[in-house]
Amino acid sequence: MQLHTDTRIEAEVGGPAIVGAAQADEIIGTCRLLADIRRNHPALVDGPLRRDEQTWIGTSRQVPELAAHRFVAARDRKSEPPSTKPFGLGLYTSTAVSGGRSMWRAYLDNYHGSWLYPLPWYTWRLLATPDARVLEVTRARDWVAFLEAYPRVVERLVFPDWAAVAADLDGIHLTLPAVAAIQGFNLPSAHGLTAAAFWDLETTLWLRWCFSEPELSDVTR
């Protein structure tokens, strides 16, 4: 994402740029790279989530074991600071595609041997239950509609109210077009400008534990 995002925009305008959701979706709709990915891996672009191909990777900075008793549900963290991508709750997974690799693993490979994501890496495969309630966000307009349904307004910026979201949903899946369309932008909504979001890659945030027993599929040292 860093190779294709102009990080100077925020400095030049004194903050994240303001872009209409429909305009962002229109621009992203012309992306040839996304069209190529769609032909080979449509779930990454259009959804729905591949519940049988979810992976989580823990580095040596994290607890390598993935287990239900370590999961922090959104309902247990009602005082979580406002965030478009909270890190004090839930679990983030990415979909495994060719060769069992996810976008998160492809990202980590750029830092192999780095102190930022130190080895070893533990890759866990998860199977999400078929009754898990997952919201598909495939474009910027979906993200705005999501924030309008679950708003948390802080200092005139709109964040998701994750505790309220968790009352209705078990997870939220952001596909590649949505990530690209909202990355680093303020989008107008019915409640004001949305806070800039940085999801970086195809991701599902799970707000409740909705998995069978995780399987450790790989250890990279």
Render pLDDT for 102-130 as a digit per residue (tens, 0 to 9): 999 999 999 998 888 889 999 999 999 99
Instruction: Give the DSSP H/E element, type plus range, for residue 3.
Output: none
Average pLDDT over residues 17-28: 95
- Rounded CA-CA distance 121/219 in Å is 6
Within 8 A by CB and 6+ apart from 103, the residues are 44, 94, 95, 201, 202
Average pLDDT over residues 91-108: 92
Per residue in 190-220, pLDDT (tens digit) is 999 999 999 999 999 999 999 999 999 999 9
Evaluate whether residue 1 is within a structural domain. Answer: no
How big, in percent rounded to 5, are the helix, strand and coil portions of the chain?
30, 25, 45
User: Which has more pLDDT, 158 or 11?
Assistant: 158
Which structural domain range is residue 68 located in?
8-220
Q: What band does 8 get if pLDDT is binned at 50, 70 and 90?
A: very low
User: Which has more pLDDT, 11 or 122?
Assistant: 122
Please tell me whether the overall predicted TM-score, pTM, comes out greater than 0.85 for this model. yes
Is the CB of residue 80 less than 8 Å from the CB of residue 72?
no
Per residue in 23-35, pLDDT (tens digit) is 999 999 999 999 9
Evaluate whether residue 69 is within a structural domain. Answer: yes
User: Which has more pLDDT, 51 or 10?
Assistant: 51
What is the b/e burial string over 117-142, where b = at least 16 CB atoms within 10 angstroms of the residue's CB? beeebbbbbbebeeebebbbbbbbbb
The DSSP string of 183-206 is: BT-B-EETTEEEPPB---SSEEEE
Per residue in 49-83, pLDDT (tens digit) is 999 999 999 887 666 678 888 888 877 776 789 99
Per residue in 124-152, pLDDT (tens digit) is 999 999 999 999 999 999 999 999 999 99
Per-residue confidence (pLDDT) for residue 64, from 0 to 100:
63
Number of domains comprising the chain: 1
Measured from the Cβ of residue 87, the count of other Cβ atoms closer than 10 Å reads 9
**Selection from 130, 124, 104, 123 nearest residue 51 by Cα:** 130
Q: What band does 15 get if pLDDT is binned at 50, 70 and 90?
A: confident
